Amino acid sequence: MKSLQLKNENNSSNNMLELNRGQSLTGTNNKTNCIDNLEMIEAAFIIKEKEGLLENIFNFLPVPLIITRNKNAEIILISAGVETILHINKSEIIGKKINEIIVDNQEYNQLLLQLNLHGKVQNSEIAIRNFHGKSILCLLSIEIIMANEECLHIHSFNNISEIKHLEDAIQNSEDNLRTVFENTEVGYILFNQFQNIVSYNKPASIFAIKEFNKEIHIGTNFSTYFPEIMREYLSNIIAPVLNGETTSFERYILHNGEHHWYYVKFSPVFNKDQLVAGFIMSMENITDRKKNEIELNNSLSLVTEQNKRLLNFSYIVSHNLRSHASNMSSILSFLEKEKSETEKAGLLIHLKKVSNLLNETLYNLNEVVSIQRNLQTTLEKLNLSNYIDQAIEILNKEIIAKNVTVHNNIPNDILINYNPAYLESILLNFLSNSIKYSSPKRVPIINFNMLTKKIQ
């Protein structure tokens, strides 16, 4: 607690000496008393000068200070800083109660309680109101001083409105970033240079459960999520990142029987000195894209295969037609030059044969085209074994003629989803070609077997 002698603005302090240089004190009759009184007067002048000096200093002090009386909270002195912060002249505030500039008096009263208990208040946030009614957030410190046995309070204000405003802006910005961070579909894990987790979002924790079968926690080291045998692999990935390079790859995960694909990227984080301070691992779920890509590839393979088959078919068509056309052309050429009627008759027989073969070829080609066209539209559940039996029955004559043995080993309950005419045609082709192209040196044996293949 300090002791000072001060005058207020109106020079009306009750406990202050009211003296001017050369003024005599009343009630001093003897010399000794006179000398004492003169010394007292001299001392009073010195004090008064110092008080004036102090007041002047106080008046120009840029730090906002307000001195109030404890008993009635009356403002008796303010520094220049107060005029600046409150946009007010000294004359407009001196004599008023400090409560008039405090926004929340309940809060202020609690500070006074604290002041009475501890003798001082340090850096408590409180809002004050300026002349224009604008609220200003300050850090308030209050100290008690004693002046002529009167208790005074020195209020020191530190305007933190700007700082608070900036802090709020930063906080808002951080909140916005956090919102984006939490709501993005891409998972992010932020690591420091020691590969410890600093921060992560929800999609990252979902990824971790799928990838590592455990939850991730802030402060844990990345390597702890990998089995021992994978550590070297991990080091190989992280090493270039810690050297400032970005690395990425696609990761396939099978979790609970479901297929997941992720695009994983490691990006270095640099500090202001451009040194690697950590890295960000981002993981984007690309399962849908990957599935589409696979479907597209499958479609492409299918189209490619169909094109290949179409090309083969065109070669077969070309081959078959060219053979007959070529023969026809040759026969006609000979017919034109041939004089002998016998030879001409022979050539005509050949021409007729070629004509019939051409007709047969065209019919067969037409059948194939027709079946191909209707294949997708007339799919039925067909008993394979029954269809084989039917084909054997149709070709029974040829089978007996060549002494062929045919074994139908297909179970009776096997149904296939296919076009009936096409299946019949395939089976007849199987059988007739097998018989036709069988080795003449051996007794032909034809076995019909089946295997089930899972289509990916």
Footprint of another protein (CB under 8 A): 312, 315, 318-320, 322-323, 325-327, 329-331, 334, 337, 350, 353-354, 436-437, 439-440
Taking the least distance from each CB to another protein, the nearer of 74 and 338 is: 338
Please give the structure tokens belonging to residue 401. 């003629």
Q: Which of 260, 258, 256, 234 is nearest to 247 (CA)?
A: 234
Residue whose CB is less far from another protein, 320 or 386: 320
Q: Give the C-alpha separation, 102 to 106, whole Å.
A: 9
Q: How far apart are CA 176 and CA 161, in angstroms?
A: 22
Question: 209 vs 335, which CB is nearer to another protein?
Answer: 335
Q: Which residue has the tokens 């951080």?
A: 174
The answer to whether 402 touches 446, Cβ cutoff 8 Å, is no
Beta strand pairing call for 258-270 and 247-255: antiparallel
Burial 279-293, CB ≥16 within 10 A → b, else e: bbbbbbbbeeebeee
* Measured CA distances, 125 to 108, 122, 137, 142 (Å): 10, 9, 7, 12
Q: Measured from the CB of residue 350, what is the shortest distance to another protein in angstroms?
A: 5
* Element housing 287 (H / E): helix 287-337
Q: Would you call 372 exposed, middle or buried from its count of C-beta atoms within 10 A (0-12, 13-18, 19+)?
A: middle
Residue number, 118 or 337, with CB nearest to another protein:
337
DSSP-based three-state secondary structure for 132: coil
> Smaller CB distance to another protein: residue 109 or 318?
318
The nearer residue to another protein, 82 or 395, going by C-beta atoms, is 395
What's the one-letter identity of residue 110?
A: Q
Supply 428's token pair.
């007849």
At its nearest, how many Å lie between another protein and the CB of residue 452? Answer: 32
Q: Which is nearer to another protein, 99 or 433 (CB)?
A: 433
Residue 307 or residue 326: which is nearer to another protein going by CB?
326
What are the strands, taking DSSP E only, across 96-196?
120-129, 135-147, 150-159, 187-192
Euclidean distance between CA atoms 163 and 443, whole angstroms: 102
State in angstroms the smallest separation of the CB of 187 from another protein.
50
